[in-house]
Amino acid sequence: MNEPFADYVLGRSCEGCTMCCKLLRIEALDKPRSQWCKHCDIGTGCKIYQERPTECRDFDCGFLTQANIGDHWKPAKSRMVITLATEPNRLTVFVDPDRPDVWRKDPYFSDIKNWARTAAKNRGRVVITQGTDVFVVTPDGETRLGPVDDDQLIISRRKRGSSGAGVEHITVNRNDPVMAAMRLLKDRDAAKNASPDELAEARRQVDAWLAQHDK
């Protein structure tokens, strides 16, 4: 939570809201997701505002910065906090576990489905995190992944199964060596600078990892 900032949507601020102090993990404080920070004056503010960690200083939720996110998403009212990431292209909705399934109700669910349609066109992803439970929402449905750690990434791939073609979502640790191979194959500039042997080796590593996953 922060003082109003010029890049915020006009009229929006953290006033009356401290939801990110509950729903997000704060590594510097060893605070897990979905538990109130011990420094939070709930609904009022931060009791250590001047000394709060950099993670807290740097954080602005999607409601504050994105004009296309409606007023009904104010976290204090919706009990959900939206974060946006460009790498990977991901919108995450953190849901208060004390209000389970609030995201499934309108107007929220209609917004989430619209975002999922936009994300699908831009190789992005809409993720719902409710306590330790994580869901990926796509235009045609949702996949429940169960618990996903903060140091895990979600990889999506097209897959053909007995019931036809679909998208499968898999979790992988950020520091898994296969991630370097995936990044090389995904990053056009890096791929242009790589030799044919390096690209072939990266493909071999990714294929081997997926084959292992399929077992």
Helix (H, G, I), strand (E, B) or coil at 112: helix
CB nearer ligand SF4, residue 40 or residue 127: 40
CB of 29 to ligand SF4, least distance (A): 6
CB nearer ligand SF4, residue 74 or residue 169: 74
Q: Of 169, 8, 1, 7, which is closest to residue 81 (Cα–Cα)?
A: 1
By CB under 6 A, name the binding residues for ligand SF4. 1, 14, 17-21, 26, 37, 39-40, 46, 48, 52, 56, 60-61, 63-64, 75, 81
CB of 98 to ligand SF4, least distance (A): 15
CB nearer ligand SF4, residue 63 or residue 108: 63
d(CA 85, CA 87): 6
Query: Quick check: bond before 196 cis, omega within 30?
Result: no
CB nearer ligand SF4, residue 61 or residue 91: 61
CB nearer ligand SF4, residue 23 or residue 155: 23
d(CA 79, CA 18): 10
Amino acid at 70: G
CB nearer ligand SF4, residue 45 or residue 166: 45
E strands in 131-204: 133-138, 141-147, 152-161, 164-173
CB of 31 to ligand SF4, least distance (A): 7
CB of 84 to ligand SF4, least distance (A): 12
Whether 154 contacts 171, CB under 8 Å:
yes
d(CA 129, CA 137): 11
CB of 61 to ligand SF4, least distance (A): 3
Q: How far is CA 160 from CA 103, 166, 168, 181, in A?
A: 30, 6, 9, 23
CB of 46 to ligand SF4, least distance (A): 3
Helix (H) or strand (E) holding 126: strand 125-130
What is the C-alpha end-to-end distance of the chain, expressed in Å?
Answer: 45
